Amino acid sequence: MYDKIVLSVEQITEGESNLVPNLANTASILYHSLPNVNWAGFYLYDNTELVLGPFHGSPACIRIALGRGVCGTAAQKRTTIVVEDVHEFPGHIACDANSRSEVVVPLIHAGKLVGVLDVDSPLLGRFTQEDAEGLERVAALLMSRMPQ
Ligand code: SME
């Protein structure tokens, strides 16, 4: 599954260093490729907080402070977080009441926080270590497309 996704992202971002179209196309690929997903997209760090970036799915909350919710926690700790049941995650921000599980991967370029990749599912426990690792490959590929 992720080999195919990484290949698609590789092909569609080939030769393009602008972040916005690369993230927009990746959100589309993830949303349409991954089963049982109701939101796939990005929040970008503006040096103060996370701000909504390109995504597929229902409209989402626009600003998330570092350390808040799953996205803000993953950004602050710079670590991938897999949440089996969002109702059990302290401070989870419910953008879509249908979401039950979530995975968030930080985007780091040249040692700096760029933002996070966030994927949500209406199913409990939808995301595994395989998803975390696959999405980390996608995040690393996207960061490698940015100018050095
Ligand atoms: N649930 C996230 C907020 C972003 S939306 O799911 C798109 C969180 O707790 O950080």
* Among protein residues, the one whose CA lies closest to atom 6 of ligand 1: 95
DSSP state of 61: -
pTM of full prediction above 0.75: yes
Domain count within the chain? 1
Q: Kindly report the CATH number assigned to the domain that includes residue 118.
A: 3.30.450.40
Ligand 1 proximity of 92 Cβ (cutoff 6 Å): yes
pLDDT average, residue stretch 3-21 = 98
What whole-number distance in Å separates Cα of residue 32 and Cα of residue 27? 9
Do 42 and 23 contact (CB within 8 A), yes or no? yes
Query: Which of 30, 31, 80, 95 to probe ligand 1 with, by most ligand atoms within 8 A of CB?
Result: 95
Q: Which domain covers residue 127, as residue numbers?
A: 2-144
Q: Is the pLDDT confidence value at 82 over 90? A: yes
Q: How confident is the model at residue 97 (pLDDT cuts 50, 70, 90)?
A: confident
Name the residue of 93, 100, 116, 127 whose CB sits within 8 Å of the most ligand 1 atoms, as the mutation to test its pocket: 93
- Write out pLDDT tens, residues 98-133: 999 999 999 999 999 999 999 999 999 999 999 999
Report, as an integer, the average pLDDT of 81-95: 93
| The two three-digit tokens of residue 142, written as one number | 């996207």
